[in-house]
Amino acid sequence: MSLGSMKELYLDELGDLYAAEIQMIRALPRLVDETRAPQLRELLSKHCEESRLHLERLQLIFTHWGRRVPSTTCAGVAGIVQEADERLNRLTTDDVRDAAIIGIAQRIEHYEIAAYRCVRTYARRLSRNDEARLLQETLDEEERADRLLTAIAEAYIDDDARPASASGKPALPPEEDPGMDVEVAGPALDVAGPSLSTPQT
């Protein structure tokens, strides 16, 4: 499809984001099932529900334009998910698996954050201020999820790498260091609802 105007570029990127959110919703329940840290499970489950809200906002924007949501696949997120499948199949310990899942989730988040920043800016240039506000709400939620993922990741790294003087534990020579063995505390959260299917156009 020709993208000869800002409007067409805007709608094309919104369609890519819609596909990305659907793929995120499909991928997150599997990541939740693979995760062992309760706090990480809770965050991923909550963000899956947020992603459903993101879809509703995108649908509303297409309705504003009198357009149907295109049926497409987001190649960027598809590549991240494929790489994630290959990596998770090679991991053997819970701690390393959880660390890898954080990395996978953040790769998808960073893709979506960059895309939402672009479409929000396009909406402003097109004087679609209500749409820009909706997109900013989603962007804020994506950025918050990314910050929380970083905080959980740093909890792993901090507990694993913290000097003995800071942790109160006796120092171990490098050859005796048992490696990462950290549990992140927090309530577990079950994931409810089936995966979302791609809407028919």
**Residue 90 belongs to a domain:** yes
Spatial CA neighbour of 156 closest among 89, 108, 98, 88: 98
**Residue 164 belongs to a domain:** no
**Residue 24 belongs to a domain:** yes
Spatial CA neighbour of 14 closest among 126, 93, 151: 126
The pair of three-digit structure tokens given for residue 63, joined into one six-digit string: 């309705």
- pLDDT tens per residue across span 132-178: 999 999 999 999 999 999 999 988 754 544 444 444 433 333 333 33
**Residue 62 belongs to a domain:** yes
Q: 149 CB contacts (<8 Å, ≥6 apart)? A: 43, 102, 105, 106, 109
State phi, psi for 93 to the nearest 5 degrees.
Answer: -110, 150
Q: What global pTM score does this model have? A: 0.75
The CATH number of residue 85's host domain is 1.20.1260.10
Contact 35, 188 (CB under 8 A): no
Please state the separation of Cα 133 from the chain's center in Å: 21
For residue 168, give the DSSP letter.
T
**Residue 195 belongs to a domain:** no
Range of the domain at 61: 6-159
Q: Is the pLDDT of residue 84 over 70?
A: yes
- pLDDT tens per residue across span 20-78: 999 999 999 999 999 999 999 999 999 999 999 999 999 999 999 999 998 889 999 99
**Residue 126 belongs to a domain:** yes
**Residue 181 belongs to a domain:** no
Report the domain count for the chain: 1
d(CA 4, CA 29): 38
**Residue 37 belongs to a domain:** yes
pLDDT tier for residue 90 given thresholds of 50, 70 and 90: confident
d(CA 162, CA 135): 39
The pair of three-digit structure tokens given for residue 103, joined into one six-digit string: 């990395």
